[in-house]
Amino acid sequence: MSEHSEHDKGGVYSTKGKAFERDSNYITTRIVVDPEPGTNDFPVEPGRYRLIAAYACPWANRSIIVRDLLGLGDVISMGNPGPTHDADSWTFDLDPGGVDPVLGIPRLKDAYLKRFPDYSRGITVPAIVDETTGEVVTNDFAQITEDLFFQWKQYHRADAPDLWPTDRRDEMEEVMRRVYTEVNNGVYRCGFAGSQEAYDAAYDRLFTALDWLEERLGGSRFLMGDAITEADIRLFTTLVRFDPVYHGHFKCNRNKLTEMVNLWGYARDLYQLPGFGDNVRFDQIKDHYYKVHLDLNPLGIVPKGPDLSGWTTPSGRG
């Protein structure tokens, strides 16, 4: 892949001597209860949409977890591209014949081009596709999970968690902003730094944020208190990839996740909850990063380690 190729959520790889920058220009169409006249938004309609989300991708993994936690599996179908892709598109190589069984396409790019024939940006996951037309609706990963909560509420299961608590929302938004810029994106800033100076700065920013989270989680079970929220989901998908990928592959190696007492206990606590660990595919995660990032790992060799059996050990946080 070239140094400007797209990965996961359309991150633009840094050029030599420069810091990593993420392309954050997404398809802004939304799926809402009452689309405003004159907008391109789509209506909430059970059975109409298909979430395309690769288990390998942390940004897509969020949407898989949220869909599961809210009980939306019966109203929004899901397709899962394989863990590796070329510079052109995510592909459905895990499905029989390499074709998505509902959309009938071999490449996610086909759904993008069906709506936007001249689409030239990265083909990213998660994406939601309209099954009635085969056209992509949106790939805005942050907006997707927020809308799954607020716009699809009438279809949530009775015991669905309150992922966006009203009384904590302002603080939660601040926490999520810092988690995104410093941790979710911070590991990529380390991995794709274009110079020693850029890497050193990224490394310091990342571990400053992890130390802040370690301290915060010393006083509460989850980021916002005693119940899981969207903030926890957003942090979890980075933490679960930390030791298998980011510690070595992205040079985030001051210490492992397993060496941070509160963060490690917190991550295991989440992993062992329904909807979290059962939506983690460590084999696909490792295949994706080590086989796709040939600029960082030219031979495509996938490490056998680390030992991941600790994820099922008691967290001590319940």
Q: Which residues pair with 225 in a beta bridge?
A: 222
The angle that helices 141-150 and 230-239 make with each other, rounded to 10 degrees, is 140
Question: What sections of 247-305 are H helices per DSSP?
Answer: 261-271, 282-292
Q: Give the pair of three-digit tokens for residue 251.
A: 């040079």
Specify whether 252 is catalytic: no
Q: Which residues are annotated as a binding site for glutathione?
A: 90
Nearest to 69 by CA among 191, 228, 292: 228
Q: Which residues are annotated as a binding site?
A: 90
Q: Which of 13, 26, 57, 190 is catalytic?
A: 57
Specify whether 188 is catalytic: yes
Q: Which of 26, 188, 203, 289 is catalytic?
A: 188
DSSP per-residue string spanning 168-236: GHHHHHHHHHHIIIIIITHHHHHHT-SSHHHHHHHHHHHHHHHHHHHHHTTS-SBTTBSS--HHHHHHH
- Dihedral sign of CA atoms 236, 239, 240, 246 in order: positive
Contacts of 111 (CB under 8 A, 6+ apart): 52, 103, 105, 127, 129, 134, 135, 136
Catalytic residues: 57, 188
